[in-house]
Structure 1
Amino acid sequence: MAKAIDPQSSMAALFGSRLRKLRVAAGLTQTEVGVLAHVVGSRIAQLERATGAKPTLELTRVLDRELVADELLIDLWPYVYREAFPDWSQAFIAYSARAKVIREYASHAVPGLLQTPAYARALLSVGHSLRDAEHLEERVAARLDRQVRLTGPDRPELWIILDESVLRRPVGGSEVMRAQLEKLLRMAEEPNITIQVLAFDQGEHGAMGGSLTMLTTPDGSHIAYTEGAHSGQLTEEPHEVERFSLVYDRLTAMALPPLMSLDLIRSVMEANPRAASVPSRSDRRRLAQQQLQQPGGRQLRAGGGRIPGRRARP
């Protein structure tokens, strides 16, 4: 007989214990549950013993439905999911999972919400807190699960400012990076996603040395989160949040307009040095004036998307 796990040892163990009880109550074997969930029976065994990769949200929903768990497993999943991340990032993940507006400046890498699996794997493989290969796959799966919300019914408004270095650092190699840049262009066509690039020629700014994320929750609360390579800090103190919000507003003003940003991403992807040159400041001012003259302050992106005009601060 398999050794019983202690449901108090971790959230993954608690999830596994509840899953086993639901399966036994339904009179099903692990193999039978695997068939219902479209996974091998050994995957169900791993979940029950908390020995394999943590469950994805999609798998959790299927198990909850097939075992008639009345959303018990779904309610547990966020806590299991957060265990794959360092302690200092878990509170941020909890807030961002329900934020209605996410504004982020990324200084070194493409934000997790927009990463491809290969890019995420390459980036997370050098993580300071990474334990082993299994932990890497848990982290990758958890990161990709976060992206589901971008196209779901409760999709947030996402505004991303990428430092130009993010585009030019070939994380994972040239092929991985090309696929990542293609995804940025594709995601920028979503009506709730805006991407800008902060060019090198803008020089110093208030968020150098790390990334900055501003969150607005459904109740209207504002949260700021700063992150370095191996640490992060969350703040809800109004004065500090307002200070960071002003920093983000300045970055928005300094960055290339969305249309020019997409052109730069495309030219870097196509490895055309001449086309990849940053537009002059006079060109930027001219485009900005053109956008302001459009009805409602908006202009169509190449490919059919929209370029938002200046939005009121959330």
Structure 2
Amino acid sequence: MARGKDIDGSVSVPTFYGKELRWKREAAGMSLETFLEGSFYGKTYLSDIEHGERRMPVELARHADRVLGTDGFFERHCEDVRKARKGTHAEYFADVPDLEKRALEIEEWDPMLIPGPLQSEPYIRAVILSAYPAESEEVLAAKVADRRERAWLFEDKASPETWVVLHEQVIWNPILPPDEMAEQLAHLVEVLAKRRAFAQLVLRNAGTYPFMMGTSRFMTFSDAPPLMYTEGMYSGQLIDDPVLVKQYAKAYGRLRAAALDTKASLRLIERAAEDFRNGKQLPQLD
């Protein structure tokens, strides 16, 4: 069996375990296709893992241990890879930036805040300090920079198509001074005008609707099953159970049906930006 270009396992923890996976797979005489039989993953996905460019999901690690007879080696070391790719993001969020880079489509629900990649620097600082008021300026600056690096999700031509549903209170909640809030909303309008991302607003009088608590994000891929990520203030979880993800996806469809259409939503965001800019009396939030 022909072997591909060698991988330098000393570069990082992910490349070390990726190289080990490929070595054991090839030593067993397995092609990518043969190795993946019985899993939900594709060749490109596995190749990225073997080159240290993608984290190995625990389900695929268990599959590797079962197929290769490695006695739990890869499942045990998934934690090492996850920690190595953390950066300044919260531990529970560490896998999400890599997944976003490979997603075909992202659908998101935010009941309280403008999504991270759409946030201006003042907005990011305010959000971080609300949760970590004693954060040092050095760490705060690093966290702001990491969040701004994700702006490509909405601003790059090669970004995934993204659908965002926001609660109406997000655009009226003055978490910044009026001029900065106006700039934040104007930026949101500017990005949405590029038509790579689409937004809908759930109005305050919409009654009951799915996902009334917590942020949720769905990601679909060309070479792997869809995932859902949900987050609270100090915790987050990736959900990959196919039945559960499908159930949540159906609920997201009902959420979109309860929201304003994209054109009406954009007009309301523009109005909010103008009202902040002009210092008008803002609507009373319930």
TM (normalized to structure 1)?
0.59
Aligned residues: 206
CA displacement 1:218-259 (0-9 Å, x = unmatched)? 325211111111111111100110111011101111110111
Partner SS state of residue 154, structure 1:
coil
Question: Is 1:229 aligned to 2:208, yes or no?
Answer: no
Corresponding position of 2:269: 265
Equivalents in 1 of 2:97, 2:146: separation in Å? 11
Q: Report what 1:154 is aligned to.
A: 158
Q: 2:126 aligns with which of 115, 122, 125?
A: 122
The AA in structure 1 aligned to 2:198 is: T
- Kindly tell me: are residues 236 and 158 of structure 1, through their superposed partners in 2, closer, same or farther at Cα, counting changes over 3 Å? same
Distance apart, 1:83 and its partner CA = 1.7
| 1:43-54 superposed matches below 5 A | none
Q: In structure 2, what residue type is equivalent to 1:102?
A: I
Where do residues 198-209 of structure 1 align in structure 2 (5 Å cutoff)? Answer: 198-209=202-213
Q: Is the 8 A contact 1:268 1:276 kept in 2?
A: no
Trace 1:246-257 onto structure 2 (pairs within 5 A): 246-257=250-261
- The C-alpha deviation readout for 1:84-141, integer Å capped at 9, x for no partner, is 0111111222212221211001111000121111211211122349742211111100
Match of 1:202, SS state, is coil
Moved segments of 4+, more than 6 Å: 78-81, 272-277
Which residue is 1:85 aligned to?
89
Pair 91,125 (structure 1): closer, same or farther in 2 beyond 3 Å:
same
Q: Provide the residue aligned with 2:48 in structure 1.
A: none
For residue 182 of structure 1, the aligned residue among 177, 181, 186 is: 186
Q: Is the 8 A contact 1:216 1:222 kept in 2?
A: yes
Counterparts of 2:271 and 2:126 in 1: how far apart (Å)?
23
Q: 2:114 aligns with which of 110, 117, 120?
A: 110
Q: 1:114 to 1:200 in 2, by over 3 A?
A: same
Change beyond 3 A, Cα 1:81–1:220: closer
Instruction: Confirm whether residue 98 of structure 1 aligns to residue 102 of structure 2.
Output: yes
Q: In the alignment, which residue of structure 1 is the partner of 2:242?
A: 238
Instruction: Please give the alpha-carbon distance, in whole angstroms, between the structure 1 residues aligned to 2:243 and 2:113.
Output: 28
TM-score, scaled to structure 2: 0.65
Counterpart in the other structure of 2:26: none
CA distance in 2, matches of 1:80, 1:111: 25
Residues 1:210 and 2:214 are matched in the alignment: yes
Task: Provide the residue aligned with 1:168 in structure 2.
Answer: 172
| Gap runs ≥5 in structure 2 | 1-9, 14-52, 55-81
1:262 deviation in Å? 0.9
The residue type equivalent to 1:224 in the other structure is: M
What amino acid sits opposite 1:219 in the alignment?
D
- Contact 1:181 / 1:269 at 8 angstroms: preserved in 2? yes
Deviations 1:145-189 (A, max 9, x none): 111243435311011111111111112222221111101110111
Measure, in 2, the Cα distance between the counterparts of 1:208 and 1:228.
12
Give the SS at the match of 1:137. Answer: helix
Tell which deviates more after alignment, 136-145 or 112-121: 112-121
Residue type of the alignment partner of 1:205: Y
